A and B are shown apart, each in its own frame.
Chain A
Amino acid sequence: MNQKKSKKPMIITLVLVAAIYIGVFIAEQTMPATSMLFTVLKKGATYALVAVSMNLLNGFTGIFSLGQAGFMLVGAYVYGIFTIPVAQRAAVYQYFDGGVIQFTVPVIIAMIFAGLAAAFFAFLIGLPVLRLKSDYLAIATLGFAEIIRAIFQWNGLGPVTNGSNMLRSFPSFNDFNIVGADGKVAVYLSTLIPFIMSGVCILLIVLLINSSYGRALKAIRDDEVAAEAMGINLAHHKRLAFCVSSFFAGVGGAMLAMYQTTVQAKSFTSAMTYEILLIVVIGGIGSVTGSVLSSFLFVACSEWWLRFLDEQQMIGDFQVPLLRNGFRLVVFSVIIMIVVLFFRRGIMGDKELPDLLSRRSKSKGRAVK
């Protein structure tokens, strides 16, 4: 059937994506560096990767896991630990005699380590947890994320993790800007780089989803019993989905560290996982495009566009009621509830961008889920 399908939607998609990348690069050279746009783009790119990785597990394989924040935490810390310049370690690890690790690795390697570490934790956790029923799996993964958080906050591991103190001084996105001899930035790359990092990772996930393995994962989501009867080993494939998803959550955690420039274990709470989950739901469970779009929307709304809701407005002498700090999040929550209750399929349902671009025949009508 794919022989008959036109290649056009795919090509248009690729052209669009390329245009976005070029646009981002140009924007960064021309617009003021302090513009909110770049905050949104950088954080959006980071969240996009994490959302897609969560969608791989929850949306495509049907494994309702709430452990994302834990794997992000592992990734963020592994990245930081391996990239803090040796000269700075004494200052960062001030309560732990400069810390135990006294070397650094290149950023890319550190990011890969971050992913591998997270995947390793996922492998261990998966052994007992993946057998559980969906509700219990959710709570068990949530529990493991909390345990991981406790471990990384523990001062007993301070020489490695800096205990309850924050990690800082590691390379962040701004460090990728090319600085000229005069000390001023010649080429801004601080937004393009996260886009590239995120883009490559999401591409890898998409490649997996569209492969034979991706189909097997979707089969598991649709009907485990039938999938097993068709020769798909459930334990193996679930573990695969869990580890791959966590790998990229770890990389996403590393990117989050680069965005925030500091990391502290105690901020990786289950609330963070809930936010990612809501992003995935709004975008559409089972749609990579949806997760990406939804991430940028979410970040834009919460950091930028709805900001006005937090400011007290005056109309003449009359103070507009309700508008003050925190209102933005309330409006936001209500919007999310509306989506969850009335637009359960989210923005994209389970379609991808190429699907929208090709005039899909009406016969692929969706049965009510």
Chain B
Amino acid sequence: MWDTIFPYLLSGVSVGGQYALIAIGYTMVYGILRLINFAHGDVFMVAGIIMVYIAASGLPLWLCIPLVLLITVAVGFLIERVAYKPLRSAPRMSVMISAIGVSYTLQNLVLYITGGLNKQYPKIPWISETVAIGAAKTKMVTIVTPFLVIALVVALVLLINKTKIGMAMRAVSKDFETSQLMGIKINNVISTTFIIGSFLAGVGSILFFTNYPTVIQTSGAMPGLKAFVAAVFGGIGSIPGAVIGAFIIGIMENIIKGLDVILFKLGVIEAPLGLATFSDAFSFALLIIILVVKPTGLFGEKVTDKV
């Protein structure tokens, strides 16, 4: 029984960690701007595509990786400047629509560049090697991911709690207007948030596409949505919450994918029920449950509105 579940658990932890890196970007941006950055998942996808093309151009991989991260950060920064900053004083719906527009644009751009063909992600040495854990075979990236995620999260939490810019970020997420009045350079804070978020999404894309090496213009849509669900589940604005939420989603999603096999091997069912189609839907069901039961998420803070 453990042998049956274990491989799914492993992939769950792996993909959960990758979702976590995306989810952090969502939760940070929402915490500061109250904006659901619909385009964030597509930035993740763009990072994957950029890697495909840069690696194909012949540059050595140890150069590609930092270059990809740099470009991804630039993309995230640019998107904020071009599509969100001008709408900062506009009603919230306008910014969300802009985010949707950016998402649409990015996908069409990539579709145009790739011609709609599936692109293969380059094999990054070491993390794409197969290893055996117990009876399960998986890629090295599965083991690396959780540790890397934890390390990055620790670094991020330290940054937020111990540095000046981190303090500024915390202030802005508590009270946008007053922070401005107190002399905090809002543009810097917001740009920093987007830079960090995009950086993490870039790292996440390296890990994710090593695991699932096909990149196509829609590759960011589902992971993006699920990462957002994770952020909401954990409590929007809470980074540890987003990470925990992401791992839970990753694990549950993979267990559901394997549910038919698991139940069959346990003798509970005799024929597959086709339950794998619900693995994506699970994240959304979770989202709705949390929104109805505890909208502030697992670790979110309750904000009292003063009428």
Chain A positions near chain B (C-beta within 8 angstroms):
58, 64, 128-129, 132-136, 138-140, 142-144, 146-147, 149-151, 153-156, 163-164, 225, 269-271, 274-275, 277-278, 281, 285, 324-327, 329-330, 332-334, 336-337, 340-341, 344, 369
A64 x B292 contact (CB < 8 A): no
A274 to B285, CA, bound (A): 21
B19-38 interface bits toward A, Cβ cutoff 8 Å, 1 = contact, 0 = none: 00000000000100010100
Partner of B104 from the list A144, A146, A278, A341 (CB cut-off 8 Å) is A278
Question: Which residues of chain B from 93 to 111 have a CB within 8 Å of any chain A CB?
Answer: 93-94, 96-98, 100-105, 107-109, 111
**B60 near A: Cβ within 8 Å?**
no
Residues of B contacting A58 in the complex (Cβ-Cβ under 8 angstroms): 93
Residues of A contacting B295 in the complex (Cβ-Cβ under 8 angstroms): 132-133, 136
Beyond the given A128-B291, A139-B228, A326-B115, please list 13 additional residue pairs across the A-B interface where CB-CB is below 8 A. A134-B93, A138-B36, A138-B96, A143-B229, A143-B285, A143-B287, A146-B280, A147-B281, A155-B274, A329-B108, A330-B112, A333-B105, A340-B83
Which of A129, A133, A333 gathers the greatest number of chain B CB atoms within 10 Å? A333
A103 to B109, CA, bound (A): 46
A295 to B283, CA, bound (A): 32
Residues of A contacting B6 in the complex (Cβ-Cβ under 8 angstroms): none
Residues of B contacting A156 in the complex (Cβ-Cβ under 8 angstroms): 273-274
**B154 near A: Cβ within 8 Å?**
no
A341 x B287 contact (CB < 8 A): no
**B288 near A: Cβ within 8 Å?**
yes
B281 x A146 contact (CB < 8 A): yes
A140 x B288 contact (CB < 8 A): yes
Question: Which residues of chain B from 229 to 284 have a CB within 8 Å of any chain A CB?
Answer: 229, 232, 273-274, 277-278, 280-281, 283-284
Question: Which residues of chain B from 41 to 69 have a CB within 8 Å of any chain A CB?
Answer: none
Residues of A contacting B90 in the complex (Cβ-Cβ under 8 angstroms): 344
A150 x B281 contact (CB < 8 A): yes
A151 to B274, CA, bound (A): 11
Residues of A contacting B274 in the complex (Cβ-Cβ under 8 angstroms): 154-156, 163
B108 x A326 contact (CB < 8 A): yes
Query: Could you write out 25 A-B pairs with CB less than 8 Å apart?
Result: A64-B93, A128-B291, A132-B291, A132-B295, A139-B232, A139-B287, A139-B291, A140-B291, A143-B229, A144-B288, A146-B281, A150-B277, A150-B280, A154-B274, A163-B274, A274-B104, A278-B104, A324-B112, A324-B115, A326-B116, A333-B108, A337-B101, A344-B87, A344-B94, A369-B91
Evaluate whether A336 and B105 lie within 8 angstroms (CB atoms) in the complex, with A146-B281, A270-B221, A341-B87 already known. yes
A360 to B83, CA, bound (A): 34
Residues of A contacting B221 in the complex (Cβ-Cβ under 8 angstroms): 269-271
A285 to B97, CA, bound (A): 11
Name the prevailing secondary structure of the B interface residues: helix
A140 to B287, CA, bound (A): 7
**B203 near A: Cβ within 8 Å?**
no
Evaluate whether A277 and B97 lie within 8 angstroms (CB atoms) in the complex, with A150-B278, A333-B104 already known. yes
B105-133 interface bits toward A, Cβ cutoff 8 Å, 1 = contact, 0 = none: 10111011001100000000000000000
**B86 near A: Cβ within 8 Å?**
yes
A138 to B287, CA, bound (A): 12
Residues of A contacting B174 in the complex (Cβ-Cβ under 8 angstroms): none
Residues of B contacting A277 in the complex (Cβ-Cβ under 8 angstroms): 97, 100
**B185 near A: Cβ within 8 Å?**
no
A281 x B97 contact (CB < 8 A): yes
Distance in angstroms from A225 CB to nearest chain B CB is: 8
A325 to B117, CA, bound (A): 12
**B92 near A: Cβ within 8 Å?**
yes
B284 x A143 contact (CB < 8 A): yes
A161 to B94, CA, bound (A): 37
**B225 near A: Cβ within 8 Å?**
yes
Evaluate whether A341 and B232 lie within 8 angstroms (CB atoms) in the complex, with A128-B288, A128-B291, A325-B115 already known. no
Residues of B contacting A143 in the complex (Cβ-Cβ under 8 angstroms): 229, 283-285, 287-288
B36 x A327 contact (CB < 8 A): no
Residues of B contacting A225 in the complex (Cβ-Cβ under 8 angstroms): 307
Evaluate whether A154 and B115 lie within 8 angstroms (CB atoms) in the complex, with A139-B287, A140-B291, A336-B105 already known. no
A336 to B100, CA, bound (A): 10
A320 to B32, CA, bound (A): 44
Q: Which residue of A lies closest to B92 (CB)?
A: A134
Which of B83, B274, B280, B288 gathers the greatest number of chain A CB atoms within 10 Å? B288
A255 to B115, CA, bound (A): 31
Residues of B contacting A344 in the complex (Cβ-Cβ under 8 angstroms): 87, 90, 94
Which of B86, B92, B277 gathers the greatest number of chain A CB atoms within 10 Å? B277
A25 to B163, CA, bound (A): 70
A340 to B111, CA, bound (A): 22
Distance in angstroms from B103 CB to nearest chain A CB is: 7
Distance in angstroms from B10 CB to nearest chain A CB is: 24
A340 x B92 contact (CB < 8 A): no
B278 x A154 contact (CB < 8 A): yes
Distance in angstroms from A301 CB to nearest chain B CB is: 13
A149 to B271, CA, bound (A): 23
Residues of B contacting A142 in the complex (Cβ-Cβ under 8 angstroms): 225, 284
Which of B103, B108, B229, B232 gathers the greatest number of chain A CB atoms within 10 Å? B108
A330 to B105, CA, bound (A): 6
A271 to B288, CA, bound (A): 20
Q: Which 3 A-B pairs have the closest CB atoms?
A: A143-B284, A326-B112, A150-B281
A153 to B276, CA, bound (A): 11
Evaluate whether A334 and B105 lie within 8 angstroms (CB atoms) in the complex, with A150-B277, A327-B112 already known. yes
Q: Which residue of A lies closest to B30 (CB)?
A: A135
A140 to B100, CA, bound (A): 16
A135 x B92 contact (CB < 8 A): yes
Evaluate whether A336 and B101 lie within 8 angstroms (CB atoms) in the complex, with A136-B232, A344-B94 already known. yes
Partner of A333 from the list B92, B101, B273, B284 (CB cut-off 8 Å) is B101
Residues of A contacting B291 in the complex (Cβ-Cβ under 8 angstroms): 128-129, 132, 136, 139-140
Residues of B contacting A325 in the complex (Cβ-Cβ under 8 angstroms): 112, 115-116
B98 x A337 contact (CB < 8 A): yes
Evaluate whether A153 and B97 lie within 8 angstroms (CB atoms) in the complex, with A140-B287, A326-B111, A341-B83 already known. no
